[in-house]
Structure 1
Amino acid sequence: MKIYIDENMPHGESFFESFGEVITFSGRDVTAEQVQDADILLVRSITKVNQSLLALNSNIQFVGTATIGTDHIDIEYLESRNITFSSAPGCNKISVADYVLSALLVVVEQRQLTLLNQTVAIVGAGNTGTAVYDCLTAIGVNCLLYDPPLQKAGDPRSFCRFEEVLAADVISLHVPKTMVGPYKTLHLFNQSVLEKLNPQQILINACRGEVIDNKALLGLAIEKKVPTLVLDVWENEPDIDKQLLPYVTLATPHIAGYSLDSRARGTEMLYIALCEKLQIPVKLKSTDFTEQSNISDITLSGDLTPELLKSLVHLIYDVRRDDALFRKKVNEVNGFDNMRKNYPERRELSTLTVLTPNKRQVSPQMIDLKKIGFTVKNK
């Protein structure tokens, strides 16, 4: 059995070598000729799996994407050929929540705001949006959820109207890319919507670049009529409109969900799915291969203040590192993809164990460290 795996999928060989021969490939450049003898094909979001890619392959049994989104997969085509498909829903939700928190802590400090005084509208209340909601509400931030499909499906949570989204201090986008239909997200934030926002607001996009009309955004940015921008995703990746960069406060190359832990979790989820298909026992997990973080524990002796929270978060992940690296490398040949390919190791907040005083001596804010994402233990 031949298993073709995107080279950016951590622990791929360790997870799948027992199934057969493991062959890695470049996700952006893979061709039909390369994968014509694949029995198993495992990709990430930059590889479009469709009839064109699989035209020369008559033996493929299983296709998996180690990502939440599936808009790069022609699922109907796979179904027509009876090819089993699996994705990794929720694999990077924690990583994205860490990204949003890190970015917000930077922006509110730059603007001399207090995070607790901000209302955050979360557009998209699936796995990722919910993780962002849980993280921010654990700090005490007032969060609104907007998700018409889930609301219509009977989700019991409280949802807001789109008008309330546009009035929020912070808008954080976490929807899939949907091209058509009543809940289309393509250019959900188009010219007319963007014109309703103001420079006092903060707009974060960590889902899909096409959710915001980048051309319209640039035009308004030039006129200084846009919110503070945090953009991890862009239209036309990797050939993004670099003219937009000077107007973006924090800019990164689609790495919000790119922690080592989240990517390893995605690989593990595909391993489990393949085990189920082949009806063999699951013997491995990502923690078998993922090393301990360089900074594994820290001791707190007092209450958790906003300043201390910022220090703890940025001790593990400071988004400014990725922003600076991106601006340095984006003009290089293949700069966007090369940064993703050679992305510096980044861990999640959960890899830091915070040792706290006995619970009876601790304020509720400190106990919430666990809900924010850290591992918490009593001394």
Structure 2
Amino acid sequence: MKIVVDENIPLAGAFFESAAELISLPGRALTAADVKDADALLVRSVTRVDEALLQGSKVKFVGTCTIGMDHLDQAYLQRAGIAYTNAPGCNANSVVEYVYAALSHLNVDWHQRSVGIIGCGNVGGALYRSLSSQGVECRCYDPFLTREQNPDLTDLEEVLQCDIVSMHTPLTTTGQHPSRHMLDYTQLRKLRDDVVLLNCGRGAVIDNRALLKLMQERDNHIQVVLDVWEGEPEISVDLLNRVQLGSPHIAGYSFDGKLKGTAMIYQAFCRHFGLTEKVHLADVLPVTLNNRLAMPEGDAWQVIGQLIEKVYAIEADDRALREMVADGTEPVATGFDRLRKQYPVRREFSNYRVAASGNPEIDAPLAALGFNLES
């Protein structure tokens, strides 16, 4: 059996090499010739999987190590009888931690603000549960859920009036509620002047030209954090120059989240081909070294901010993207993909231990964020 795999899928060899011959290739550059003789294809979000790529190939299984599936032509795969699967929820916690790191860096205390969440599936739902456990006022918009599933559901207009608005929707262009350009110029104008807007879902859910126009009109009175961009990897440099934090689609790139995705696809692969699972995530998950953190001094908000920065200094991601653009020695699209490919190992908060302070105003939110508190 032969598997073609995106070279950026971590530990693919550890999971799959005992089951098949692996051929690792750049995901964005995959061609029909590359996959012609493959039995299975493992990708991430940069690979468009459709008839042009797979027609005439032997591929019978496609696995994407991502939550989203807008890069898969599901209608074609179904017609062709090709099994496909994603990894729902694999990087949800990674994206939630990205949101916390961004707000902390901007010195925006979510405990004192209302938070609007657009899209409450795997990622948005995880963020909602985390914030709710901290007593944060949340308003959610998701037309595919009911109030029984989420008691804080409301309409989009209400969500857009929150102090913080965080977007976590997949990209869809059909159906009753298509998400492409969900936030167009008309909707964006409904945002408060002092809002913090984050997009960690799909870039085209926000009309990026309209967003740039709004930011120019409001003279940067709104704060924007973009991890995803319309047209990426060819992103708008003008928009990057306006946002408070920008990153190259890496919110879900924690090492833990990536490995969960690989493990989930491996499990689905084994089920499809009737194979026994020989590798489990616990077998290959590396131990985090130097994972004991000293409890900082200060009030609860100061402590939270300092500990988050010790684990995930998000400004480094922003700086790397801006320096790549400013350097100008490579096309923006090439540099964008390079930053993703070379992204450093980032471990999640749960890998780190800190001595409990004994103050519930400090310990409770840290525990809610996932830090391991030791008495």
TM-score, scaled to structure 1: 0.92
Counterpart AA for 1:63: V
Could you tell me which of 237, 240, 252 is aligned with 2:232? 237
Answer yes or no: is the 8 Å Cα contact 1:64–1:270 preserved in 2: yes
What is the number of residues matched between the two proteins? 369
In the other structure, the counterpart of 2:62 is 63
Counterpart AA for 2:2: K
Deviation of 1:11 after TM superposition, in Å, equals 0.2
Counterpart AA for 1:238: P
Distance 1:114 1:64 in 2: 38
In the other structure, the counterpart of 2:356 is 356
**CA-based RMSD:** 1.9
In the other structure, the counterpart of 1:185 is 179
Counterpart AA for 2:63: G
Distance 1:373 1:41 in 2: 34
Answer yes or no: is the 8 Å Cα contact 1:178–1:185 preserved in 2: yes
In the other structure, the counterpart of 1:216 is 210
Distance 1:363 1:219 in 2: 44
Distance 1:46 1:114 in 2: 34
Deviation of 1:175 after TM superposition, in Å, equals 0.6
Name structure 1 gaps, 5 residues minimum: none
Does residue 269 (structure 1) correspond to residue 264 (structure 2)? The answer is: yes
Deviation of 1:198 after TM superposition, in Å, equals 3.5
SS at 1:192 equivalent? helix
Deviation of 1:375 after TM superposition, in Å, equals 2.6
Answer yes or no: is the 8 Å Cα contact 1:261–1:348 preserved in 2: yes
For residues 307-333 of structure 1, give each alpha carbon's deviation from its aligned partner in whole angstroms, at most 9, with x where no partner exists.
Answer: 111111111112101000110113433
Matches for 1:1-379 after TM superposition, within 5 Å:
1-57=1-57, 59-107=58-106, 109=107, 114-151=109-146, 155-224=149-218, 227-300=222-295, 305-330=300-325, 331=328, 332-333=330-331, 334-356=334-356, 361-363=358-360, 365-376=362-373, 378-379=374-375
Distance 1:302 1:239 in 2: 43
Deviation of 1:15 after TM superposition, in Å, equals 0.4
Range with bigger deviation, 156-165 or 213-222: 156-165
Distance 1:277 1:127 in 2: 24
Answer yes or no: is the 8 Å Cα contact 1:134–1:371 preserved in 2: no
SS at 1:85 equivalent? strand
Distance 2:213 2:299 in 1: 42
* Alpha-carbon distance change, 193 to 225 in structure 1, aligned in 2, over 3 angstroms: farther
Distance 2:176 2:112 in 1: 34
SS at 2:305 equivalent? helix
Answer yes or no: is the 8 Å Cα contact 1:138–1:372 preserved in 2: no
For residues 253-306 of structure 1, give each alpha carbon's deviation from its aligned partner in whole angstroms, at most 9, with x where no partner exists.
Answer: 100001111111100000011111122332322332232223312354989711
Deviation of 1:77 after TM superposition, in Å, equals 1.2
For residues 140-173 of structure 1, give each alpha carbon's deviation from its aligned partner in whole angstroms, at most 9, with x where no partner exists.
Answer: 4322221111128x52533122221111001000
Answer yes or no: is the 8 Å Cα contact 2:296–2:307 preserved in 1: no
Distance 1:225 1:210 in 2: 23
Counterpart AA for 1:239: E
* Alpha-carbon distance change, 3 to 307 in structure 1, aligned in 2, over 3 angstroms: same
Counterpart AA for 2:200: A
SS at 1:64 equivalent? strand
SS at 1:24 equivalent? strand
Distance 2:152 2:215 in 1: 33
Answer yes or no: is the 8 Å Cα contact 1:67–1:87 preserved in 2: yes
Distance 1:340 1:302 in 2: 35
Distance 1:287 1:224 in 2: 49
Counterpart AA for 2:166: S
Counterpart AA for 2:367: K
Answer yes or no: is the 8 Å Cα contact 1:135–1:373 preserved in 2: no
* Alpha-carbon distance change, 156 to 145 in structure 1, aligned in 2, over 3 angstroms: closer
* Alpha-carbon distance change, 229 to 156 in structure 1, aligned in 2, over 3 angstroms: closer
Deviation of 1:368 after TM superposition, in Å, equals 4.0
SS at 1:247 equivalent? coil
Counterpart AA for 1:336: F
Counterpart AA for 1:187: H
Answer yes or no: is the 8 Å Cα contact 2:157–2:190 preserved in 1: no
SS at 1:343 equivalent? coil
Answer yes or no: is the 8 Å Cα contact 2:116–2:164 preserved in 1: yes
Range with bigger deviation, 271-280 or 172-181: 271-280
TM-score, scaled to structure 2: 0.93
Distance 1:356 1:117 in 2: 23
Answer yes or no: is the 8 Å Cα contact 2:161–2:192 preserved in 1: no
Answer yes or no: is the 8 Å Cα contact 1:171–1:202 preserved in 2: yes
Percent identical pairs in the alignment equals 40
